[in-house]
Amino acid sequence: MKIDLEYLKAELKKEVTEHRYIHSLGVADTAKRLAQIYQADSSKAVIAGILHDFTKFWPKEELAKRIRESKELAQDLLDYNAELWHGPVASVVIQEWFDIRDEEIIMAIRYHTSGREQMSLLEKIVCLADYIEPSRQFPGVDEIRKIAEQDLDEALQVAFDGTIQFLIQKKMKIYPLTVKARNDLLKE
Ligand SMILES: Nc1ncnc2c1ncn2[C@@H]1O[C@H](COP(=O)(O)OP(=O)(O)O)[C@@H](O)[C@H]1O
């Protein structure tokens, strides 16, 4: 794929904080390494990693508007945590801004926070990379990093368990796709 990564990074830098920029490059790096281990397309993994949080700092009203105006995005997102909105919106925005038309990249960005049932290999890789990239620090992250080297599905399931536990602890609504994603990984 002929996409100028330096251009994507420069555009990302204009949209996000320094911390988020470093996180995004960490996700790109980790996704690349996971793609090498699990034989996915590493150039797609890098592009999705760089761009997954592209709209993270857009105002909530703008994100909600983009979801309402989109025929591609699930409208029920609007009934849940606004933290879930930036991935789906970024997956639409990158099509317009960068003419990225690759469905695998688009879906990996769209579902990087929630996951979903029947995730593709690239979706799993980007979602897990977001959880374990080097600047992430939370209890248990090293254990997930270890599992990630051996078993992609198990590592992602443990990551979703952590997210679900976090939401329960905070008494927050759980967007059901994450539960579905987690159950699906247990079945596989
Ligand atoms: N199923 C879900 N339902 C509701 N909120 C969720 C769900 N999954 C993740 N979140 C929220 O999204 C946040 C993580 O977003 P994420 O995109 O992974 O982080 P980042 O944007 O920092 O890479 C969690 O802290 C949680 O608040």
Average pLDDT, stretch 144-148?
98
- Ligand 1 binding pocket includes 72 (Cβ within 6 Å): no
Pick the atom of ligand 1 nearest to 131's CA: 18
Residue 173 gets which letter from DSSP?
P
Q: What secondary structure, in 3-state letters, does 14-54 show?
A: HHCCHHHHHHHHHHHHHHHHHHHHCCCCHHHHHHHHHHCCC
Tell me the average pLDDT across 23-51: 98
Is the CB–ligand 1 distance for residue 53 below 6 Å?
yes
Query: Is 81 a pocket residue for ligand 1 (Cβ < 6 Å)?
Result: yes
pLDDT (mean) for 66-92: 98
Say what the ipTM of the complex is.
0.93
Summarised one tens digit per residue, pLDDT across range 83-141 is: 999 999 999 999 999 999 999 999 999 999 999 999 999 999 999 999 999 999 999 99
Contact status, residue 122 vs residue 41, Cβ threshold 8 Å: yes
For ligand 1, whether the C-beta of 24 sits within 6 Å is no
Q: Is the pTM of this model over 0.95?
A: yes
Q: What is the CA radius of gyration of the chain?
A: 15
Q: Look up residue 184 and give its two tokens.
A: 């699906």
Mean pLDDT of 29-45: 98
Q: Determine if ligand 1 sits within 6 Å of the CB of residue 123.
A: no
Cα distances from 39 to residues 34, 47, 53, 59, in angstroms, run: 8, 16, 24, 37
Could you tell me the domains of the chain? 5-180 (1.10.3210.10)
Ligand 1 centroid distance, CA of 108 (Å) = 15
Over residues 141-158, mean pLDDT: 98
Smallest CA-to-CA distance from 34 within 138, 135, 150 is with 150
What is the rounded CA–CA span in Å between residue 102 and residue 45? Answer: 12
- pLDDT tens digits, residue range 170-181? 999 999 999 999
